[in-house]
A = this chain, B = another copy of it.
């Protein structure tokens, strides 16, 4: 990648909890999208903007998506309110190369389920328990700058069985105080696009202010950025590249 080229990041958030729930608003006064955009913006190699559900076309017009290298997705309570044509547009852009980072409850978003081909169901529990996130693939670029584990002191638990296809690369596994485990950092290739699922990040905990979580998301943006100048693929009917003798079938 040219050193002067920046990664265009769009942080999408349903932005519902913050408006309804004072506790969430106190933790994320600018919304979760605002908190994520704030720390990503400090990277000189990134241009960051946000989009939310209530905007026209949820802020994800063709023009926004065409100029997005990596889309970050946070949704929880309003998955069903995301319009199918917008989901299709995002999907097409991922297959065309745009990176997608699905955070926490985005496991149940329409776009993530559509890309996975499975239910993406899991176990959950909300008792503010401790999570310890272990790096199982320490050479992976998404683990850069971490220790071999980090802890989230209070979180919502997500537990296995997580009904996803086996990840192309599994980077993190979580340990939970209450007795469960979870594949918390999962890389996928879909079409030309890279998809990363990252578990931490509930709306009632200040998880997106934690330095390790910010580091992972920052690393993931760089990992998921599209390959510039990837091969143009021709689908459909093609002529032979070699001479084929005429057949008498």
Chain B CB count within 10 A is highest, among A144, A147, A161, A176, for: A161
The dominant DSSP class at the A interface is loop
The reply to whether the CB of A38 lies closer than 8 angstroms to some CB of chain B is no
The reply to whether the CB of A79 lies closer than 8 angstroms to some CB of chain B is no
Q: Are A137 and B189 in contact (CB under 8 A)?
A: yes
CA distance A192 to B115 in the complex (A): 18
Q: Given A123-B236, A134-B160, A175-B179: A118 and B169 within 8 A (CB)?
A: no
Q: Are A238 and B125 in contact (CB under 8 A)?
A: yes
The reply to whether the CB of A162 lies closer than 8 angstroms to some CB of chain B is yes
The reply to whether the CB of A168 lies closer than 8 angstroms to some CB of chain B is yes
Counting contact residues on chain A (CB < 8 A from B), the size range is 35 or more
CA distance A118 to B97 in the complex (A): 12
Nearest Cβ distance between residue A3 and chain B, in whole angstroms? 5
CB-CB < 8 A to A136: which residues of B?
A: 160-162, 183
The reply to whether the CB of A82 lies closer than 8 angstroms to some CB of chain B is no
CA distance A178 to B243 in the complex (A): 7
Nearest Cβ distance between residue A223 and chain B, in whole angstroms? 10
CB-CB < 8 A to A214: which residues of B?
A: none
A residues contacting B by CB (< 8 A) are 3, 95, 97, 114-119, 121-125, 127-129, 132, 134-141, 143-148, 154, 157, 159-163, 165-166, 168-170, 173-181, 183, 188-194, 205, 226-242, 244, 247, 249
